[in-house]
């Protein structure tokens, strides 16, 4: 009988919802703003703030993000994004210029192959010569539109 109870207890533990372990730690901040988390007390001259730390059990996936990381809300800071979008063509066109060109059915220098195909579709003919690539679009009344790309896949300007 004890064997059956231990198997039942093991099965209940195995299939019970996973819980995360939580602990309270000390958040110590010195006069210059350096922060240290410790389970021991803070050194002299540091401000002490209790902090709850949640750690999910090994091998489990938390079902919802932990929202109670701190004991009091922190002031919001301005979000600064460092970096720019690189289109592979030297960012010749701004997003606004690119949008206007697409609306006006134009293909200015600096536009990518992806932009041109998004605007005009797949070309009727592709001509490759040296490092240049030319898309040919057959239009109405026997006219055609030629768009030349450089080795980077960017629309070249008029010669």
Is 34 within a domain? yes
Is 68 within a domain? no
Is 100 within a domain? yes
Domain boundary among 41, 56, 71: 56
Please report, for residues 69, 78, 132, 144, 154, the alpha-carbon distance to residue 90 in angstroms, rounded to integers and kept in the order given: 42, 29, 17, 28, 9
**Higher-confidence position of 155 and 61:** 155
Query: Average pLDDT of 110-123?
Result: 90
Q: Which two tokens stand for residue 144?
A: 């055609």
Is 118 within a domain? yes
Is 145 within a domain? yes
SS3 148: strand
Q: What is the pLDDT of residue 61?
A: 65
Is 49 within a domain? yes
Is 6 within a domain? yes
Look at the chain and report how many structural domains it folds into.
2
Q: Which two tokens stand for residue 84?
A: 């720019």
Range of the domain at 29: 2-56
SS3 98: helix
Q: Residue 18: pLDDT band by 50, 70, 90 thresholds?
A: very low
Average pLDDT, the chain: 77
Range scoring the smallest mean pLDDT among 24-28, 85-89, 96-100, 115-119: 85-89
Is 87 within a domain? no
Q: Alpha-carbon distance 157 to 159, whole Å? A: 6
**Model confidence pTM above 0.75:** no
């Amino acid at each position: 009988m004890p064997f059956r109870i231990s198997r039942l207890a093991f099965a209940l533990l195995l299939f019970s919802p996973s819980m995360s372990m939580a602990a309270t730690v000390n958040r110590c901040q010195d006069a210059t703003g350096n922060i240290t988390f410790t389970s021991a007390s803070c050194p002299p001259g540091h401000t002490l703030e209790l902090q709850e730390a949640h750690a999910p059990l090994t091998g489990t996936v938390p079902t919802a993000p932990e929202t109670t990381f701190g004991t009091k809300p922190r002031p919001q800071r301005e979000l600064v994004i460092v970096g720019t979008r690189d289109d592979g063509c030297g960012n010749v066109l701004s997003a606004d210029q690119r949008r206007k060109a697409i609306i006006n059915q134009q293909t200015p220098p600096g536009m990518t192959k992806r932009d041109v195909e998004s605007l005009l579709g797949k070309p009727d003919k592709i001509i490759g010569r040296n490092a240049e690539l030319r898309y040919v679009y057959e239009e109405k009344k026997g006219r055609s539109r030629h768009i030349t790309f450089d080795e980077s896949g960017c629309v070249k300007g008029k010669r």
